[in-house]
Structure formats: structure tokens, C-alpha cells
């Protein structure tokens, strides 16, 4: 182990010990729920000079420990959980990804892309595939990262380099994507709920960050390519690959049946896209808003983003399976959906407590009070708006070292960040974009990221002494480069008023 690797391992071990002292994210929401109850009871008698922007009256904290409040909380508990914005999105998308994964579509598509790439372009193609794998959800980690190591080993390059590049694209560039993904409406649900603390009529477009995230994908591929070939690869020159050989299943040729399935899946995806385009085309289309727009939050098309993603995953998955022979009847489809839902239990537990906390926090008016007081503090400090947003990015990146789940973090942070920045004139869409930059960039250097131990396991296949410090030393250059370049890209978008996404601006005014 090199001195650099040992130092990285020591730092990361400290972070791991600190993170392990934190409660599970589900219990963390229980703690903040109790804190919300206690704080609301203590602050309810106090009078505050800050005005509620909705009523123009002084803000009053509403105690959540009174008899009526407790009765209302318990009476709404089931409905609060069922109406939790991200929950339905996750459930619906997992049904479709289950079919696409278990039919073999994801695996075949990834291997086809990597197998047809020239060695000279292997790095950017691997980064591209890793970023596109977000649409596959968690299976992307289990397929792309070991495939990256195997492909680099087969091409005569160090397998750890392929693992690092794939991990950088899949986790470090988690929010970057050319295509809409389930993460867009998932985060939008939290953002809209938080924005309504200030403006009850606030509507956030699910694709409010699509423009910025599409451009981000291009830039991160370029940055990742440079870091892989010019920074990380030279450091691996003296590191022996003394582990097992590459897993042949990860680099095997796409079979004739798989190729047939991929063609069928592509035709199915094109057919669905054509149907959506043709349905939107007429000026009188039912998918248009009353003003004829297709991209405003009021447009039915924007309200159908999740169902469209559902069919774009489900139908090609079925088409692939039928053509490749992995789906023979409707029972196979139902079984694949069942397997896709197998991993939802933990998320459902966390979502239950997150929903209760969010509801109590909103009802108490604590979020509104914190937002207005925070806005006053920001105004008193007279920090430039870009410095404020930069602070949000850095704070999110730091918190990400201890809380790995993006949805858990945004559920905690959005009720504070979004209304606070709205109060100083910054849009919810900009705040969400800043969060996504900070959240993604440090995914690859925290052992508390759910798939980090899996990456260590992959690394040990090829290097017997590889451990947590080895992986962190490999991934730190990517993390720093992504954080700096991605933050600068957001600043460029803001300076030149480039579109963040659909119906998204940089400022907020009532």
C-alpha cells in the first residue's frame, strides 16, 4: 500500500467511524420528527417579527404536541404516507425496471455498447454507458462496474482503472443524464413541497434541471476521460494486478438471440416515442396546457413524465424478452415485476418516517420561520448570490459523506434550503440543481455510499491488497474534478442565463 493510499485510508476510516455513529436514515427521521415536536412546543408561545409571505401576518409556530395536533397527526398518518410525493414514483419505476433488468435487456445493451467500442475510445464510452446506466437504477452498478474492469483488462489496461472510471460515471455523475430519469420527478416532489412553504401555489416542472444535467453529462465524460487517462492511469502503472482474471461473462459477445432482442427493444422504444410525439403534435392535443404549451407544469404531458418513463422501460423490456426467449408468457412479466419490487422494503420504511417528519415540519411553520430568519441572515451578510449557492453545493457535498441516500438528504434539506433561498430571490429549481451537484460529486469517496463496499469487492478481484483506502485514493481525483468543474458549469449557465430545464429560471419573485 502506498503512503498516499495509507493516508487516504486513514482519513476515510475516520469518516466511516463518524458515519457509523449516525443512526440509520429511517431512525434519523424519527429523531428530527421528535425534535420538530419539541421545538414547536417550545416556540409556540413566542412572538416573531418575521412576516408570513402568504398571509402578511407575523409567523406563529404551531405546537405539534397539543391534543388536537396529535389527533390530527395520527388521523392523517396513513394518508400522509400514501401521498408522500416520491413514493409512488419509486414504486411505479421499479415495476418497469424489474422487467427490463430480469429480461436481460440492461445487461445485453451495456455489453453491446462496450463490445463495439474501439480501444482508443474505451474510456469515454465506459463513462457514457455508466452515466446512461442511471436509467437502469441500482442494476447499473452491478453490471457496468465489473464490466468496466473486465473490458479494461481485456484491452491490456489496468482493470482497476476500468472499475474507477465506471464508478465515477455511475455514482460521481449520478445526477447527470441525457435522458429523463426517475430521479427527476423524485427530487421535484420534495422541491415542490418545500417551495409551497413560501408559495402554496408553487409548481415545479419535473424536468426543471434537464437542460443543465444533459450538458453536465457531456462535461463529466470529458473531465472523467482526462482524469482516467492522465491522472489515475499513471498512478496505477506500478500497481500489480495480482488477483483473478476478468469475468468472461462480463465481456462475452452478444449472442444472436440477444441481438434480436435488442433490435426488438429499440423498435418498441421508437414506437412509444413516435406515439407520444404524434399525440402531442396537434394544436388541440389533450396533452397540451390550455395555453397550448407542452412544457408548463399545467400541461398533461409534464404530469405524465413518470408514466411515459414506465412504458419506455416496460415495453422494450417485454419486447426484448419475447425476442430473446427470456420472456415466454405473461407470468414471466409479472414475476420480473415482483423481483423488481423486492428491494423496495427498506425505501418504504424510510419513506414512511420521512413523510411523517415532512408533514409535521410543514404544519409547525418551523420551516417557514427558519427560511425567513435564514434569508434575513443572508441579506445581513450581503453574500453574493453565487457564493450562497456555492455554499449549498459544498454543504451538500460534506453531508453526503455521512448520509448516502439522495432522497433522504433532500427530504431533510429541501424544507430549509428551498424556502430560505426563495426568500432571497433564488429559484427552487436553482437550489435543486446546486444540491444535485454536491450530492453526486462526493458519492464516490464515502464508504457510506451503499455500493461502495461492492466496489471494494470488485477491486479485490484484481488486486489482492485493495481496500477502502485504495478505492478512495483512486476516486478522489474524480471527486475533486467533478465538484469543481460541475460547480463552474452551473455558474456559467447562470451567468449566461442558459436554460436549467423546462419552466425553470434562476430567480424567484412573487
Q: What is the pLDDT of residues 249-299, one digit of tens each?
A: 555 677 889 999 999 999 999 999 999 999 999 988 999 988 888 866 678
Residues 299, 312: Cα–Cα separation, whole Å: 20
Counting residues of the chain whose pLDDT is more than 70, the rounded percentage is: 85
The pLDDT, as a whole number, for residue 12 is 47
On the 0-12 / 13-18 / 19+ scale of CB atoms within 10 A, 279 is middle
The pLDDT, as a whole number, for residue 56 is 72
Residues 202, 200: Cα–Cα separation, whole Å: 6
User: Which of residues 134 and 276 earns the better pLDDT score?
Assistant: 276
30-34, 203-207, 251-255, 502-506: least confidently modelled range: 251-255
| Mean pLDDT, rounded, of the chain | 83
User: Which of residues 396 and 350 earns the better pLDDT score?
Assistant: 396
The pLDDT, as a whole number, for residue 423 is 84
The pLDDT, as a whole number, for residue 399 is 77
Q: What is the pLDDT of residues 200-221, one digit of tens each?
A: 888 898 889 999 999 999 999 9
User: Which of residues 101 and 435 earns the better pLDDT score?
Assistant: 435
Per-residue pLDDT at 170 exceeds 70: yes
Buried residues in 246-261 as b, exposed as e (16+ CB within 10 A): beeebbeebeeebebb
User: Which of residues 189 and 14 earns the better pLDDT score?
Assistant: 189
Averaged over 418-430, what is the pLDDT?
91
Three cell numbers written together for 288: 397540451
Which of 482, 478, 475 has the alpha carbon at shortest distance from 5?
A: 475
User: Which of residues 69 and 370 earns the better pLDDT score?
Assistant: 69
What are the CA-CA distances from residue 157 to residues 252, 291, 456 (Å)? 18, 56, 19
Phi, psi of 426 (to 5 degrees): -105, 140
Per-residue pLDDT at 371 exceeds 70: no
Counting residues of the chain whose pLDDT is more than 90, the rounded percentage is: 35
Q: Cβ neighbours of residue 432 under 8 Å, at least 6 residues apart?
A: 187, 188, 191, 204, 208, 209, 410, 414, 418
Q: What is the pLDDT of residues 380-394, one digit of tens each?
A: 777 788 988 998 898
Query: Are 204 and 188 a contacting pair, CB within 8 Å?
Result: yes
The pLDDT, as a whole number, for residue 18 is 56
Which of 286, 320, 294, 411 has the alpha carbon at shortest distance from 360?
A: 411
Query: Are 63 and 44 a contacting pair, CB within 8 Å?
Result: yes
What are the CA-CA distances from residue 273 to residues 78, 111, 268, 506 (Å)? 37, 24, 9, 30
∠ CA 396-399-404 to the nearest 5 degrees?
105
Query: Are 143 and 113 a contacting pair, CB within 8 Å?
Result: no
Averaged over 409-421, what is the pLDDT?
84
Per-residue pLDDT at 335 exceeds 80: yes
What are the CA-CA distances from residue 302 to residues 184, 195, 270, 314, 428 (Å)? 12, 18, 20, 19, 18
Total Cβ atoms within 10 A of residue 237: 7
Start-to-end CA span in the chain (Å): 58
pLDDT confidence tier of residue 140, bands split at 50, 70 and 90: low
The pLDDT, as a whole number, for residue 71 is 95
Q: What is the pLDDT of residues 2-28, one digit of tens each?
A: 554 455 445 545 654 554 565 666 787
Q: Cβ neighbours of residue 39 under 8 Å, at least 6 residues apart?
A: 61, 364, 366
pLDDT confidence tier of residue 39, bands split at 50, 70 and 90: very high
Query: Are 112 and 254 a contacting pair, CB within 8 Å?
Result: yes
Per-residue pLDDT at 64 exceeds 50: yes
Amino acid at each position: 500500500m502506498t503512503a498516499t493510499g495509507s493516508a487516504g485510508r486513514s482519513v476515510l476510516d475516520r469518516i466511516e467511524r463518524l458515519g457509523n455513529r449516525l443512526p440509520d436514515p429511517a431512525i434519523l427521521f424519527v429523531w428530527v420528527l421528535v425534535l420538530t415536536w419539541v421545538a414547536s412546543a417550545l416556540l409556540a408561545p413566542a412572538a416573531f417579527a418575521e412576516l408570513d409571505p402568504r398571509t402578511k401576518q407575523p409567523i406563529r409556530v404551531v405546537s405539534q404536541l397539543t391534543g388536537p395536533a396529535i389527533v390530527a397527526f395520527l388521523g392523517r398518518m396513513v394518508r400522509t404516507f400514501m401521498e408522500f410525493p416520491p413514493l409512488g414514483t419509486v414504486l411505479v419505476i421499479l415495476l418497469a425496471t424489474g422487467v427490463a433488468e430480469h429480461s436481460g435487456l440492461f445487461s445485453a445493451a451495456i455489453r453491446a455498447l462496450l463490445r463495439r467500442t474501439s480501444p482508443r475510445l474505451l474510456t469515454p464510452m465506459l463513462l457514457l454507458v455508466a452515466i446512461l446506466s442511471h436509467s437502469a437504477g441500482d442494476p447499473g452498478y452491478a453490471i457496468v462496474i465489473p464490466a468496466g474492469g473486465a473490458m479494461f483488462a481485456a484491452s491490456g489496461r489496468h482493470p482497476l482503472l476500468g472499475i474507477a472510471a465506471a464508478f465515477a460515471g455511475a455514482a460521481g455523475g449520478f445526477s447527470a443524464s441525457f435522458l429523463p430519469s426517475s430521479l427527476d420527478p423524485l427530487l421535484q416532489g420534495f422541491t415542490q413541497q418545500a417551495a409551497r412553504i413560501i408559495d402554496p401555489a408553487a409548481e415545479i416542472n419535473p424536468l426543471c434541471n434537464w437542460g443543465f444535467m444533459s450538458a453536465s453529462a457531456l462535461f463529466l465524460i470529458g473531465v472523467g476521460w482526462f482524469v482516467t487517462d492522465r491522472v489515475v492511469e499513471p498512478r496505477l502503472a506500478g500497481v500489480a494486478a495480482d488477483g483473478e482474471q476478468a469475468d468472461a461473462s462480463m465481456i462475452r459477445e452478444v449472442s444472436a438471440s440477444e441481438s434480436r432482442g435488442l433490435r426488438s427493444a429499440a423498435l418498441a422504444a421508437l414506437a412509444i416515442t413516435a406515439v407520444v410525439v404524434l399525440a402531442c403534435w396537434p394544436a388541440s392535443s389533450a396533452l397540451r396546457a390550455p395555453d397550448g404549451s407542452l412544457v408548463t407544469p399545467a400541461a398533461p404531458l409534464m404530469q405524465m413524465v413518470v408514466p411515459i418513463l414506465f412504458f419506455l422501460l416496460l415495453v422494450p423490456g417485454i419486447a426484448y424478452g419475447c425476442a430473446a426467449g427470456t420472456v415466454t408468457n405473461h407470468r414471466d412479466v409479472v414475476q420480473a415485476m415482483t423481483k423488481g419490487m423486492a428491494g423496495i422494503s427498506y425505501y418504504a420504511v424510510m419513506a414512511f418516517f420521512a413523510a411523517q417528519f415532512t408533514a409535521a415540519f410543514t404544519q409547525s411553520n418551523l420551516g417557514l420561520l427558519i427560511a425567513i430568519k435564514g434569508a434575513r441572515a443572508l441579506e445581513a451578510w450581503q453574500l453574493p448570490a453565487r457564493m450562497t449557492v456555492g455554499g449549498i453545493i459544498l454543504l451538500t457535498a460534506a453531508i453526503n459523506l455521512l448520509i448516502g441516500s439522495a432522497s433522504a438528504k433532500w427530504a431533510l434539506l429541501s424544507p430549509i434550503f428551498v424556502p430560505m433561498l426563495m426568500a432571497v430571490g433564488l429559484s427552487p429549481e436553482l437550489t435543486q440543481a446546486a444540491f444535485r451537484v454536491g450530492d453526486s460529486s462526493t458519492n464516490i469517496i464515502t464508504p457510506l455510499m451503499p455500493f461502495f463496499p461492492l466496489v471494494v469487492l470488485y477491486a479485490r478481484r484484481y488486486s489482492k491488497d485493495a481496500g477502502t483506502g485504495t478505492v478512495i485514493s483512486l476516486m478522489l481525483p474524480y471527486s475533486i474534478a467533478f465538484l469543481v468543474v460541475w460547480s463552474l458549469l452551473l455558474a456559467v449557465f447562470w451567468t449566461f442565463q442558459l436554460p436549467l430545464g423546462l419552466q425553470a429560471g434562476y430567480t424567484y419573485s412573487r
